């Protein structure tokens, strides 16, 4: 192999192909990717909850009159399961306190539903906020007011959806006094949470709640900048004119501050 052939081989081995895309096309592709990430963040909690609901259905089946909640004479509330316990894989007993760790972990009863929804709230908010913070870091166009406005809007919407889901699930769980499917309250909570999230998204789109929050943060930022500018302006003035500071203090009494030969 001569030097020319070796050079051609080395150039071929180190060849790199770079595709240069127009800015508008890159921006559109990034916005689509961000939209998919935000959608994934919003459905992460429902997917987790649906997995828990499927686990409940596998454990107890679809029949009604599987569970009864009763209060004992000591004031404690118990969850009583009907049916043959030998057919179950996890809940082997027939009676548990409503705050029993196994019951809460299986999302059974009011406390279990509330804890699961709280966990879903944290997961959804962390993922949504993470997407927006990443966007703020890599995107020079996005301002701090945009970041705060969107995160605040997400927090409000996720919070309202979680509260609605918890209220619906706990209210449905009260039916267990009469008798119902074990998974019914949790499934109702999931449905209410998803519907509320969808409705709030539509309301935000039509009324522009997020845009209003962004504008509020922008105005607040302008006011803070004006205050900071005024403070810095006065500080620089007093630093360059120490006699003025002595006169200001002189209005409040005999305050003597050494300012060198000018005092």
| 233 and 155 share one domain | no
Q: What are phi and psi of 226, to 5 degrees?
A: -65, -40
Q: How many residues does the chain have?
A: 263
pLDDT at 200 (0 to 100): 93
Rg (the chain; Cα; Å): 31
pLDDT at 222 (0 to 100): 66
The residue segments making up the domain with residue 134 are: 21-203
Q: Does the pLDDT of residue 103 top 60, yes or no?
A: yes
Least confident interval from 33-47, 71-85, 200-214, 238-252: 238-252
Between these two residues, 164 and 16, which has the higher pLDDT value? Answer: 164
Average of pLDDT values for 194-222?
89
| 44 and 149 share one domain | yes
DSSP letters spanning 173-225: HGGGGT-B-TTHHHHHHHHHHHHHHHHHHHHHHHHTHHHHHHHHHHHHHHHHH
- Residue ranges with strand state E in the chain: 67-71, 77-81, 95-97
Mean pLDDT over all residues of the chain?
Answer: 78
Whether the full predicted model's pTM is greater than 0.75, yes or no, is no
| 162 and 52 share one domain | yes
- Of residues 36, 69, 33, 47, the one with CA closest to residue 170: 69
Tokens at 166, concatenated: 């918890």
- Give the contacts of 181 (CB within 8 A, at least 6 positions apart): 60, 62, 63, 64, 66, 67
Q: Does the pLDDT of residue 178 top 50, yes or no?
A: no
| 76 and 175 share one domain | yes
| 139 and 227 share one domain | no
pLDDT band for position 126 (cuts 50, 70, 90): very high
Tokens at 204, concatenated: 């935000």
pLDDT at 174 (0 to 100): 63
| 87 and 168 share one domain | yes
The answer to whether residue 258 is domain-embedded is no
Least confident interval from 44-48, 191-195, 230-234: 230-234
């Amino acid at each position: 192999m001569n030097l020319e052939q070796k050079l051609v081989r080395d150039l071929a081995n180190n060849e790199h192909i770079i595709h240069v895309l127009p800015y508008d096309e890159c921006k559109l592709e990034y916005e689509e990717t961000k939209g998919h990430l935000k959608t994934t963040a919003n459905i992460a909690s429902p997917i987790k909850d649906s997995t828990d609901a499927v686990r409940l259905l596998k454990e107890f089946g679809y029949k009604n009159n599987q569970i009864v909640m009763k209060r004992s004479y000591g004031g404690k509330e118990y969850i009583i399961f009907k049916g043959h316990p030998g057919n179950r894989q996890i809940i082997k007993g027939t009676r548990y306190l409503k705050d029993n760790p196994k019951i809460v972990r299986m999302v059974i009863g009011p406390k279990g539903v509330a804890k699961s929804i709280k966990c879903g709230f944290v997961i959804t908010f962390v993922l949504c906020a993470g997407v927006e913070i990443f966007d703020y870091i890599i995107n020079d166009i996005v301002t701090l007011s945009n970041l705060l406005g969107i995160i605040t809007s997400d927090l409000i919407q996720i919070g309202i959806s979680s509260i609605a889901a918890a209220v619906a699930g706990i209210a449905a769980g009260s039916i267990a006094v009469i008798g119902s499917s074990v998974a019914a309250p949790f499934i109702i909570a999931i449905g209410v949470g998803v519907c509320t999230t969808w409705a709030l998204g539509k309301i935000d789109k039509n009324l522009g709640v997020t845009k209003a929050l962004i504008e509020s943060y922008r105005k607040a930022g302008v006011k803070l900048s004006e205050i900071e500018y005024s403070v810095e302006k006065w500080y620089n003035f007093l630093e360059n004119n120490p006699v003025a500071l002595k006169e200001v203090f002189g209005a409040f009494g005999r305050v003597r501050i050494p300012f060198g030969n000018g005092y």
